[in-house]
Structure 1
């Protein structure tokens, strides 16, 4: 186990394997690994919430920019030939606020939350597998236990990733003609 732990690049798996090699009790190991997962979730949640908050504030800042710009428009009511350009420029601030919220900040926050969720799922799967190994579970039973933790669509997707013999050329109908290699 120690050599496996040393060879592993995944820090979470490395800690788990090293603790098994050191003879850490199963319940203590579960608690330690659960704490690591909880810590990861809290840290990731903070980062994700930051970008989601930016997405919430961006339209408001854009509207403030528009209102400030419209006050300059009101200062120049004596120049009607310039009002159209000034009003259009004023509304650009709102446009930037809404666009940045919906195309930058909120998607970044959502993406960070999804990546965190996937990472936590991976860490949980590692934890359950390592603890089952420590408990001496049979390999077939372990495989079934871990497969039960993974959604069916992900299992089917990974099973369908068989090595390809090479790229195929397609006809106009989309049917493969022959190997390109």
Structure 2
């Protein structure tokens, strides 16, 4: 669980509420059901309109990464690849068959099967990098769903504020209602801007980081398998892959 995600949300909205309190406002002044309906509903509707069904489903699937981001164990991955290289050197590429059958990661298994089938290094790299690119684009398009919501929310908030002002203008005969009415109207703007900048855009950027981390780990797998295909010494492969380790 990524506790920083919770901390970021708490700090952001606490700063908003705290600033409102220090200026003499109350939290009740920021609560407005119709404004929330306009902003949330309008933003969600606009984002759904532009998003294909498969991307919308993927966007929902990867939302959990904000709280439970995928964890990639680079050192364990390098050690596993070195073991593959040792097996290939001792028994030949056909000695990787049992390893490929037991490999739980489909991407790694695909690379091993390409090795066993005798594909050359360039073909292996081309096939596996194509898989990485396609998966990365699919996930980035899913993350873009939240980014687009972050773009629409402030504008929808302005629409909500204008709608509120229209009702205020209809009550010009009662000056006592003008001040509170205008204040409530602008709550929609606050909702739109806050939702975009304190939640939706950070979520989109967090998902993009997770997508990049997945691609980077897969690049490690590719480099390791290419090293095996080219017959490199397992120690050389390990030294080369250690470049992926970060302190």
The alignment's C-alpha RMSD in Å is 1.3
Q: TM-score, normalised by structure 2?
A: 0.59
Question: What pairs up with 1:101-112 in 2 under 5 angstroms?
Answer: 101-112=196-207
Question: Which residue number in structure 1 is paired with residue 61 of structure 2?
Answer: none
- Superposition deviation, residue 42 in structure 1: 1.2
Aligned equivalent of 2:232, options 119, 123, 137: 137
SS class of match (2:172): coil
Matched, 1:99 2:194: yes
Structure 1 unaligned residues grouped into runs of 5+: 157-181
Any unmatched runs of 5+ in structure 2?
A: 1-95
What's the TM-score, normalizing by structure 1? Answer: 0.79
- Structure 1 residue 18 and structure 2 residue 18: aligned? no
Larger radius of gyration: 1
Residue of structure 1 in register with 2:178 after alignment = 83
Deviation per residue, 1:13-64 (Å, 9 max, x gap): 1111111122222211111001101101211221122211211111011011
SS at 1:88's partner residue?
helix
Count of residues in Structure 1 that have an aligned counterpart in Structure 2: 152
Answer yes or no: is the 8 Å Cα contact 2:120–2:229 preserved in 1: no
CA distance, structure 2, for counterparts of residue 17 and residue 120 of structure 1 = 18
Q: Mapping of 1:96-175 within 5 angstroms?
A: 96-148=191-243, 150=244, 154=246, 156=247
Higher helix share: 2
